[in-house]
Amino acid sequence: MDVALPLLALSLFIMIFGFKKLKTIMQSRSWLYRGFILLFIFLFLFGANEFLRRKIGGFAGSYPFVEYWDIQASEKEVIDAITELNKLNPNFQPPKNVEFISKRDTGYIWTSHQMEEYLEKLKMDSLTPLPKKNYNNYYHDYWLHVNLYYPDTKEIVHTWTRPDSNPSVTTFAFVSLSSLDNPNEYRLINRDFWYIANKRQINKFKRAFVDKIQEQIERKRRSSP
């Protein structure tokens, strides 16, 4: 249940009602006045924070609600660590009907001016070579999607990785959860969970995946000559 708006409404009601009685309260019961102010501030800030977290999000772009960690390793190291951990613990990966590590989506932008010119030339000469890939005619998806698994609750854990502008840093994001029975019914982290449940889910994810991935990367680095 989303209670952010009710909390904001309650804090405003307390403010309006309380300030009408403010002079009387200050004169007769100063402790009650201080308690009223503290309660109003707490409810307002908590409600505003929940509203912003669950309605707006904190991560720019296509995934505003994700919880993410910047891992001090290349994306290849992160993916290798996930693959190696899955060999040690098969429960790391969802059941076989769910894709484990997807391929990054790439391809030509056929609506670009350069590709439209190529298609026109192709009509005249079927041996016309494809143009050299560049930022104007070719796209490279930012995200590499990885599906992990909670065997205790039989939930698919939807995540993605993305290289940082610094190639030795990788963003690893917790996106959502879904059940094996309903894999397309997503519950987004930082949006579809109330405050305490959301914190528990983030802590569980960090223990189950983030910490283990970082430990695996460190183990491999120590064992490398």
**The two three-digit tokens of residue 96, written as one number:** 């076989």
Query: Would you place residue 133 in the very low, low, confident or very high pLDDT band (cuts 50, 70, 90)?
Result: confident
Q: By percentage, how much of the chain surpasses pLDDT 90?
A: 38
Q: Is the pLDDT of residue 31 over 90?
A: no
Question: Where do the structural domains in the chain lie, given as residue ranges?
Answer: 4-55, 67-105+141-223
Report the pLDDT value the prediction gives residue 184, as an integer from 0 to 100: 83
Predicted confidence (pLDDT) at residue 28 exceeds the cutoff of 70 = no
Structure confidence at residue 1 as a pLDDT band (50, 70, 90): very low
Q: What is the mean pLDDT of residues 172-201?
A: 90
Which of 19-23, 62-66, 179-183, 206-210 reaches the highest mean pLDDT?
206-210
Higher pLDDT, 195 or 36: 195
Contact indicator for 167, 150 with CB cutoff of 8 Å: no
Q: Binning pLDDT at 50, 70 and 90, where does residue 144 land?
A: very high
pLDDT digits (tens, 9 = 90+) for 91-127: 888 987 889 998 887 788 888 888 899 899 888 888 8
CATH of domain 67-105+141-223: 3.30.310
190 and 198 in contact (C-beta within 8 Å)?
Answer: yes
User: What's the pLDDT at 43?
Assistant: 59
The pLDDT value recorded for residue 97 is: 82
**What's the whole-number mean pLDDT along residues 12-31?**
58
Please give, one letter per residue, the 3-state secondary structure of 28-61.
HCHHHHHHHHHHHHHHHHHHHHHHHHHHCCCCCC
pLDDT tens-place string over residues 42-80 = 655 555 565 555 555 555 456 678 999 999 999 999 999
Rounded CA separation 75/201 (Å): 24
**Does the predicted TM-score (pTM) go above 0.85?**
no
